[in-house]
A and B are shown apart, each in its own frame.
Chain A
Amino acid sequence: NAGVTQTPKFQVLKTGQSMTLQCAQDMNHEYMSWYRQDPGMGLRLIHYSVGAGITDQGEVPNGYNVSRSTTEDFPLRLLSAAPSQTSVYFCASRGGGVGSPLHFGNGTRLTVT
């Protein structure tokens, strides 16, 4: 199994540009989420989804959009990139009960200049 696949692995954007980070999972997990990782702050939740057609905001949602049209895919869109969005982004999914662990993709390092 591929698990959780994120693309691209690295990306450089200029301020004001938009882009979409792709995330796909092949484990038939209902729950998917996006985190950003910044030094000294751990991972912070951006958006999450408990199933196709359902999304909700996490701790730091501003400047990001998500949609969930299928169980497999959960793209993250940056509408107008800002230097404050320079970070490492992780997509994760979870199956089973509420106590099941998250399965993570390998992350995307995004730099906004």
Chain B
Amino acid sequence: AQTVTQSQPEMSVQEAETVTLSCTYDTSENNYYLFWYKQPPSRQMILVIRQEAYKQQNATENRFSVNFQKAAKSFSLKISDSQLGDTAMYFCAFKFYNNDMRFGAGTRLTVKP
């Protein structure tokens, strides 16, 4: 069974600085998809970024980028120029073909002014 591990329950960063959230996963599959979701205090689940395992190039979305290391089964999220609105829970998720998306336990990020 696929598992997703987020080893940092909580993190904090100063406004305008850069922070990296860690995620590792366990799978024997070769083709899969990885996601980062953001959950602000409003409870809404918002897609941040998506990575296809067969693509070597790391995905980027504005201030958000990933470091995808397929051999190491690592999928970290880097947030550049952190803003107060980035304060949220961040969930890493793994999806294999059988329709089941697996989530990590989450990392609570606080951006300090």
Measured CB to CB, the residues of A under 8 A from B are 31, 33, 35, 40-45, 48, 50, 58-59, 88, 90, 92, 98-99, 101-102, 104, 106-107, 109
Cβ contact within 8 Å between A107 and B43: yes
Cβ contact within 8 Å between B99 and A48: yes
Count of A-B contacts judged by CB separation below 8 Å: 50
A72 shortest CB reach to chain B, Å:
19
Known: A42-B103, A50-B99, A58-B100. A106 touches B50 (CB 8 A): no
Chain B residue at minimal CB-CB distance from A97: B33
New contact pairs (20) apart from A42-B6, A48-B100, A98-B97, CB-CB < 8 Å: A31-B99, A41-B105, A42-B91, A42-B105, A43-B91, A44-B103, A45-B100, A45-B102, A50-B99, A58-B100, A88-B43, A92-B45, A99-B33, A99-B52, A99-B95, A101-B50, A106-B44, A107-B43, A107-B44, A109-B43
Residue among A50, A92, A101 with most chain B CB within 10 A: A101
Residue among B4, B35, B43, B45 with most chain A CB within 10 A: B45
Cβ contact within 8 Å between B43 and A106: yes
Chain B residue at minimal CB-CB distance from A42: B103
Chain B residue at minimal CB-CB distance from A44: B103
- What chain A residues lie within 8 Å of B44 (beta carbons)? 104, 106-107
Residue among B44, B95, B99, B105 with most chain A CB within 10 A: B99
Q: Identify whether the interface residues of A are mostly helix, strand, loop, or mixed.
A: strand
Measured CB to CB, the residues of B under 8 A from A are 4, 6, 9, 33, 35, 42-45, 47, 50, 52, 91, 95, 97, 99-106
Cβ contact within 8 Å between B101 and A45: yes
Cβ contact within 8 Å between B47 and A101: yes
- Which 6 pairs show the lowest CB-CB distances between chains A and B? A104-B45, A42-B103, A43-B103, A99-B33, A42-B105, A101-B47
- What chain B residues lie within 8 Å of A101 (beta carbons)? 35, 47, 50
- What chain B residues lie within 8 Å of A109 (beta carbons)? 43
Question: How long is the Cα–Cα vector from A109 to B33 in the complex, in angstroms?
Answer: 29
- What chain A residues lie within 8 Å of B45 (beta carbons)? 90, 92, 102, 104, 107
- What chain A residues lie within 8 Å of B101 (beta carbons)? 33, 45, 102
